[in-house]
Amino acid sequence: MTSFEAALSSWFEAHGRDLPWRRTRDPYAILVSEVMLQQTQVERVVPRYLSWLERWPTAAALAAATPAEVIREWQGLGYNRRAVSLHRAAQAIAAVGWPGDLTRLPGIGPYTAAAIRNQAYREPVLPVDTNVARIQERTGHTFGPAALQALFDLGAAICIARRPRCEICPLAEACPSRGRRYEPMRKQSRFEGSFRQRRAALLRLVTDGAKPVETLDHEAAESLCKDGLVEQVDGLVCLPR
């Protein structure tokens, strides 16, 4: 273990977050956490993750749900296409088991596949997200797979994007970037008034029940149909059955 990794490990033992998906090696549970955590804050995910697994504790249980049930349960987490992909992945797993190449599952790219391999199967791979990449770039050090959870927490709390908290960072003493400040990252486009907001508003409407297509935002309805989030039947827009 390098000095960087030893310092990081000691810090993590004292300050690491107690997150429910860190207490399991069930690949399905880790898949659920990884999909939920895409572009959604940890604090919002924790209660939804727990309620999701209480309702659908296995891939087979989720596969047996209807798309409408899955989309309703997902409401509030944002980027609803993730729910559809997760449901389709569960159906594939229930039908033929976990593939050797996890990227064959719907909606699972190289990063999520590596995250499952690391956390569920303890394979020696390091999935590199924004936090991990930032820490490795700033320190000039390539960390091993065992450091994953500590890197997540360090990137979320200390080695943050613009003004890293170098004064309390366990890696600061040997870090070549100590004391640097960074330009703000490109901000995500505004949600207010955006097409994403129109899609979200329409989906909320039909979550409560089918609505006549002529009363709805046609462009948003067509977009949601293409993503498998709604369907049009007999002049009505509704959640997929």
Least Cα distance to 126 among 152, 146, 154, 100 occurs for 146
User: Which pLDDT belongs to residue 193?
Assistant: 78
Tell me which residue of 48, 49, 17 sits closest to 33, measured CA to CA: 49
| Contact of 136 with 152, CB cutoff 8 Å | no
Per-residue pLDDT tens, the chain, 241 aa: give them. Answer: 788 999 999 999 999 999 999 999 999 999 999 999 998 999 999 999 999 999 999 999 999 999 999 999 999 998 899 999 999 999 999 999 999 999 999 999 999 999 999 999 999 999 999 999 999 999 999 999 999 999 999 999 999 988 999 999 999 999 999 998 887 666 666 777 789 899 999 999 999 899 999 999 999 999 999 999 999 999 999 999 8
Residues in Cβ contact with 3 at an 8 Å cutoff, skipping those fewer than 6 apart? 174
Known catalytic residues are 34
The C-alpha atoms of residue 7 and residue 159 are separated, in whole angstroms, by: 14
Give me the pLDDT at residue 188, please: 60
How far apart, in whole angstroms, are the C-alpha atoms of residue 161 and residue 150? 17
* Structural domains in the chain, sorted by start: 26-121 (1.10.340.30), 195-238 (no CATH)
DSSP-assigned letter for residue 40: S
Q: Which pLDDT value is given to residue 2?
A: 83
